[in-house]
């Protein structure tokens, strides 16, 4: 009976990983929506990690991890931009953070595929040896990818930007100081996390659904060993998986791109389906335009929680942010981040704000007014899917 209970908990966590740990490919089911996110036709092939087998650095399902690499040129040959994909944006192979942006156009560009289920924090000694074939090797994958890229020339980098969206943005925050330590001391190294400032917030029924989920993930993968030792010494390790506690121990400059009404968080943190059994929130969950005044008040409270969680972040002069009031999730791997239809805050696009921050042109802490004030937003409409 004990084994059955353990297996049930294990299966529950895995289901959570596959369904929740940041899947949103269904966004592109609508031709109208797909047209908005038109991709550059210059795809970059997948490179499987050459030393993965030797280092036993396997993905969750035992397959080999990989990345897409495009050589920099000219003045960008010793500069690197790396992007860790989110939980399910694999359909956009070869698409990277700065593919068409003026500031990073000729840099070495790497897209690291996400395949471990715990933001590259898993450790193999937590694997269950009871007939299952799941591998918790996220930390090994991270180290192997870094070593391979260092051998490809990243060890001589003069400038670098590590970025990621959703689960990839969480991985970016967790490993930001590590990549700083691996690169030359004279190099300018910064990090960008997109749509990944996940809140430790109660859902509409007063339950801390995400806190329980994170506890399952951290315990299942043995992720505590990859988290900040200072944080883990002070609190329950799973709490150190929340960005508001991660950033407290970070030393490398960080930029946040985050919608105040992140649809993933609204649909899974604030209003998970299990908490909306009468489906009173269903129309609001699918389209923010459908929220009534009471529901909008709740969403405004969620926005306030985000801004409050960024209190210390705002005080750090080296850190930047672009918090817009859109009902969307990841924004940096879409054409909209640097295109003419990019959302703007204080007349600046996301790409312009990131450039201002990375190259120290000006302080770049831009926070939007509350919904529905920003006409430049593209707000997702899942009711049409």
DSSP line for 260-303 = TT-HHHIIIIIS-GGG-TT-TTHHHHH-GGG--HHHHHHHHHHH
Are 383 and 283 a contacting pair, CB within 8 Å?
yes
Domain hosting residue 104, numbered range: 16-384
Catalytic pick among 329, 338, 342, 356:
329
324 inside domain: yes
In angstroms, the CA 75 to CA 23 distance is 36
In angstroms, the CA 326 to CA 256 distance is 15
In angstroms, the CA 119 to CA 173 distance is 10
In angstroms, the CA 28 to CA 285 distance is 17
Is 329 annotated in the active site?
yes
Q: At what angle do helices 209-221 and 2-20 cross, to 10 degrees?
A: 110
First vs last C-alpha separation in the chain: 43
Catalytic pick among 119, 166, 196, 325:
166
Q: At what angle do helices 138-151 and 167-182 cross, to 10 degrees?
A: 50
Is 262 annotated in the active site?
yes
9 inside domain: no
In angstroms, the CA 356 to CA 180 distance is 21
Overall number of domains in the chain: 1
Let me know how long the chain is. 385
In angstroms, the CA 94 to CA 40 distance is 9
212: its two tokens: 């329980």
Catalytic pick among 96, 200, 262, 356:
262
171 inside domain: yes
8 inside domain: no
At residue 73, what are phi and psi to the nearest 5 degrees?
-150, 160
Are 319 and 253 a contacting pair, CB within 8 Å?
yes
CATH for 41: 3.40.50.1820
122 inside domain: yes
372 cis-preceded (ω within 30 degrees of 0): yes
pLDDT at 130: 59
Are 137 and 124 a contacting pair, CB within 8 Å?
yes
Query: Between the CA of residue 224 and those of 168, 215, 382, what are the distances in Å?
Result: 17, 10, 35
CA angle 11, 16, 22 (to 5 degrees): 150
Strands of the sheet with 159-165, listed across from one edge = 46-48, 66-70, 108-112, 79-84, 159-165, 188-194, 254-259, 320-324, 365-367
Closest-CA residue to 193 (of 329, 99, 94, 335): 329
pLDDT at 341: 84
If one counts every other C-beta atom within 10 angstroms of the C-beta of residue 172, the result is 27
Task: Give pairs for 223-231: CB < 8 Å, separation 24+.
Answer: 223/118, 223/119, 223/121, 223/122, 223/123, 223/138, 225/121, 225/123, 225/139, 226/120, 226/121, 226/122, 226/123, 226/138, 226/139, 226/174, 227/121, 227/174
Is 294 annotated in the active site?
no
Q: Consecutive 10-residue runs of the chain (385 residues): their mean pLDDT?
A: 38 37 32 38 86 94 96 97 79 42 88 96 83 88 98 98 97 98 98 97 94 94 95 95 94 97 97 91 96 97 97 88 96 76 92 95 94 94 84
274 inside domain: yes
b (16+ CB within 10 A) / e for 22-44: bbbeebbeeeebeeeeebeeeeb
277 inside domain: yes
Query: Between the CA of residue 74 and those of 78, 105, 110, 157, 333, what are the distances in Å?
Result: 9, 11, 17, 14, 24
157 inside domain: yes
pLDDT at 203: 96
Closest-CA residue to 257 (of 187, 175, 161): 161
> Collapsing DSSP states into helix, strand and coil, what is residue 315?
helix
């Amino acid at each position: 009976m004990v084994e059955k209970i353990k297996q049930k908990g294990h299966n529950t966590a895995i289901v959570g990983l596959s369904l929740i740990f940041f899947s949103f490919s269904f966004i592109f089911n609508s031709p109208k929506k797909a047209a908005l996110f038109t991709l550059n036709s210059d795809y970059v092939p997948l490179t499987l990690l050459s030393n993965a087998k030797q280092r036993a650095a396997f993905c969750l399902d035992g397959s080999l991890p990989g990345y897409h690499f495009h050589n920099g040129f000219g003045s960008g040959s010793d500069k690197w931009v790396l992007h860790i994909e989110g939980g399910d944006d694999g359909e956009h192979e070869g698409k990277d953070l700065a593919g068409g942006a003026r500031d990073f156009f000729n840099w070495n560009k790497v897209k690291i595929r996400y395949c471990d289920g715990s933001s590259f924090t898993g450790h193999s000694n937590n694997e269950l040896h009871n007939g299952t074939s799941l591998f918790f090797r996220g930390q090994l994958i991270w180290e192997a990818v870094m070593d391979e890229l260092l051998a490809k020339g990243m060890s001589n980098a003069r400038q670098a930007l590590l970025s990621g969206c959703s689960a990839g943005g969480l991985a970016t925050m967790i490993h930001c100081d590590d990549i700083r330590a691996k690169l030359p001391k004279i190099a300018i190294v910064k990090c960008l996390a997109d749509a990944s400032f996940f809140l430790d917030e109660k859902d509409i029924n007063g339950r801390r659904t995400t806190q329980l989920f994170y506890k399952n993930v951290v315990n299942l993968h043995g992720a505590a060993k990859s988290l900040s030792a200072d944080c883990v010494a002070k609190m329950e390790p799973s709490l150190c998986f929340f960005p508001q506690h991660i950033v407290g121990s970070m030393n490398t400059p960080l930029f946040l791109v985050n919608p105040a009404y992140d649809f993933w968080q609204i649909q899974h943190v604030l209003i998970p389906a299990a908490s909306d059994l009468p489906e009173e929130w269903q129309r609001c969950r699918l389209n923010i335009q459908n929220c009534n005044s009471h529901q909008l008040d709740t969403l405004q409270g969620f926005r306030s929680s985000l801004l409050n969680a960024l209190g210390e972040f705002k005080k750090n002069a080296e850190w930047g942010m672009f918090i817009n009031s859109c009902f969307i999730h990841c924004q940096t791997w879409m054409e909209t981040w640097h295109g003419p239809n990019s959302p703007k805050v204080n007349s600046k696009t996301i790409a312009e704000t990131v450039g201002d921050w990375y190259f120290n042109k000006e302080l770049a802490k831009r926070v939007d007014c509350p919904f529905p004030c920003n006409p430049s937003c593209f707000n997702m409409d899942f009711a049409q899917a």
